[in-house]
Amino acid sequence: MSALLSEPDQESQDLNSMTKAELLAYARENNISGVSSAMLKADILSRIKEAI
């Protein structure tokens, strides 16, 4: 289990490299509410990370 804790979270790294449009699509595909195109990319990313 300690090996799992020391490895960086791959999904989190992938999310950080996504564009705003990709994050919006990811949120739609994963039924994450409270995300809109009017939001800043950082706010969308934060909301997604809260939901997963």
Kindly report, residue by residue over 2-50, the tens digit of the pLDDT.
Answer: 444 444 577 777 999 999 999 999 999 999 999 999 999 999 999 999 9
Task: Quote the pLDDT of residue 6.
Answer: 44
Task: Quote the pLDDT of residue 8.
Answer: 53
Give the residue, 3 or 52, on which the prediction is more confident. 52
In the chain, where the domains are located: 2-51
For residue 39, which of 30, 51, 27, 29 has the smallest C-alpha distance? 27
Q: What residues have CB less than 8 Å from 14, skipping those under 6 apart?
A: none
Give the residue, 52 or 41, on which the prediction is more confident. 41
Task: Quote the pLDDT of residue 2.
Answer: 44
